[in-house]
Amino acid sequence: MHVMLLSCCILVLLMPGPCLTAPTLMPERESSPSTEPQVDLKLATEYLQRYYNLQNDPMARIRRSGPSFTSKVKDMQIFFGLNATGVLDSVTLEVMRSPRCGVPDVEEYSHIQGTRWNKNVITYSIGRYTRDLPRNTVDSLVESAFSVWARASSLTFVRSHTRNADIMVEFVTNEHGDFYPFDGPRGTLAHAFGPGLGIGGDTHFDDDEYWTAGRTGFNLFVVAAHEFGHALGLKHSRNRESLMYPTYKSSSSANLLSIEDVANINALYSPVRGPNFFSRFSWSSQNNPWLSGSLFPLLMQNKCASDLTFDAVSTLGDATFFFKERYLWIKHNEQYDIKEGPITNFMPKIETSIDAAFWVPRRSTAYIIHESMFWTVKGSVVRGKPRLLSHFGFPALVQDVDAAVHIVKTGRTLFFTHDTYWSFNENRRVMDFGYPKYISEDFPGVNTPINAAVHKEGFIYFFIGPQVYKYDYTQKHVVGVEKANSWLGC
């Protein structure tokens, strides 16, 4: 089961008064053509590429009349109950301009939604709080939001004060470590991950929004209830009366659920006989697809095993990523919590193990390598299709690398393969002359083969088997050795 980001789509504030409607630059005549066609066309193209799987063809000119473009416009109009003309009228463009979630609306994604927890007693914990409300008010509103679903189903929600709860609730801003950065006021308000291990169920609210308990700002109770529906496995509804409809509307009623919502939650969680207490990391594999079939080894990684090794390690922004087989740990440099799960939870386009990875800070870009191919990760998103390793200037005989690390001070990326290494000039985008060279000659004390490497605070850390060698790149010698699992807090 893949865990997918299921976000609260906040489109139009449906409250009395024209000042509370999302602004638009279009004339007020319904279905009128845009007065700024190039700007509108660019907006619509980017919108449809992101949310409706419109294929990106950088070599082709953007056309509003193309069959694929028109059909995607129709798909979007149908989803939001608009007049499905395939034309970029003012109403359609107004929706496209409105704040919303980052999850695509196309049906192709529905097969990885609608999953469920394999239990009816679910724990939750509140981590970072918002600055807008007292903590006890947040606690009360979150509890009330869970109660909306508890009253309509056989579910029971128990608050935990540890970070091992099923659903972690946090208020964060901008990039916060899950590859779905927030975008400031009145953009995406919140998002939640569907049920699963690690990041599964976690629910994040954008603290750049103004959170309230009333009708001003954004009502935390209403948004949280919607998000917890996603954390329980529900997807968006096209029914405007449903709590799971993508747009925000304030409500004074404690009973937010429609008949459809009640039916859907009970279809996922039918009543059970007696309590069903499974901890987050010890589910029964008999009925849980996360622990069955080929995925079984991926979800049993023990981060504190004494013989733990990594296939690749790299910083990405303010976090460090640890890859092993098809599994991933993400550790924030300023925090103690660690997110983990199959790589596809965080990078759906990558369905393989990773051999090497490195981060180039001045481009805010990471490169993820598997055998002779690599992916580019920019702005927390995997961009485009994988490209050939030969892009870096390797000869045809080099079909894989063991590790890679970028040195900011020199502007070089070092690629390690077997007992040799290469030096790539990131400024000139060419391989340096005279390479490859032997690792043993230029990195005395470092054994081969190297599993992974990362550059931090002036040192290169070489991961070799279950050990990490701290290497002084200036003085050319090893200054310390530690266990690899110590990097995950063990």
Please list the active-site residues: 227
Neighbours of 163 (CB within 10 A): 12
Residue that has been written with the tokens 């907006």 in this structure: 43
> What does each C-alpha distance from 276 to 117, 176, 287 come to in angstroms?
11, 33, 13
> Which residue is associated with the tokens 């416009």?
73
Residue 419 assigned to a binding site: no
224/295 Cα distance (integer angstroms): 31
Count of CA atoms in the C-beta half-sphere (13 A) of 268: 26
Residue 184 counted as an annotated binding residue: yes
Using the 8-state DSSP alphabet, how is residue 217 labeled? S
Which residue, among 267, 241, 205, 259, has the nearest Cα to 8 in the 3D structure? 205
AA letter at 84:
A
Tell me if 137 sits within 8 A of 171, measured CB to CB.
no
161 marked as binding residue: no
The answer to whether 391 is annotated as binding is no
Asked if residue 166 belongs to a known ligand binding site, the reply is yes
- Which two structure tokens, joined as six digits, stand for 134? 């007292």
**Cα gap 25→8, rounded to integer Å:** 24
355 is in an annotated binding site: yes
Strands 403-407 and 412-417, bridge-based pairing: antiparallel
- Look up residue 24 and give its amino acid: T
* Residue 207 is labelled as binding a ligand: yes
- CA–CA distance, 194 with 121 (Å, rounded to integer): 16
- Residue 404 counted as an annotated binding residue: yes
Unique residue bearing structure tokens 């193209």: 45
Q: How many CA atoms lie within 13 A of 334 on its CB side?
A: 4
- Whether residue 477 is annotated as binding a ligand: the answer is no
206 is known to lie in a ligand binding site: yes
Residue 176 among known ligand-binding residues: yes
- Contacting residues for 201 by C-beta, under 8 A, at least 6 apart: 117, 122, 166, 167, 168, 192, 193, 194, 195, 231
Please tell me whether 337 is known to bind a ligand.
no
How many other β-carbons are positioned within 10 Å of the β-carbon of residue 196? 25
139 annotated as a binding-site residue: no
Which residue has tokens 């189903």? 153
89 is in an annotated binding site: no
What Rg do the C-alpha atoms of the chain give, in angstroms? 25
Is the distance from CB of 155 to CB of 269 less than 8 angstroms? yes
Flag whether 442 is marked binding: no
The annotated binding site for Zn(2+) is made up of: 101, 176, 178, 191, 204, 226, 230, 236, 244
The annotated binding site is made up of: 101, 132, 166, 176, 178, 183-184, 191, 200, 202, 204, 206-207, 209, 226, 230, 236, 244, 311, 355, 357, 404
The annotated binding site for Ca(2+) is made up of: 132, 166, 183-184, 200, 202, 206-207, 209, 311, 355, 357, 404
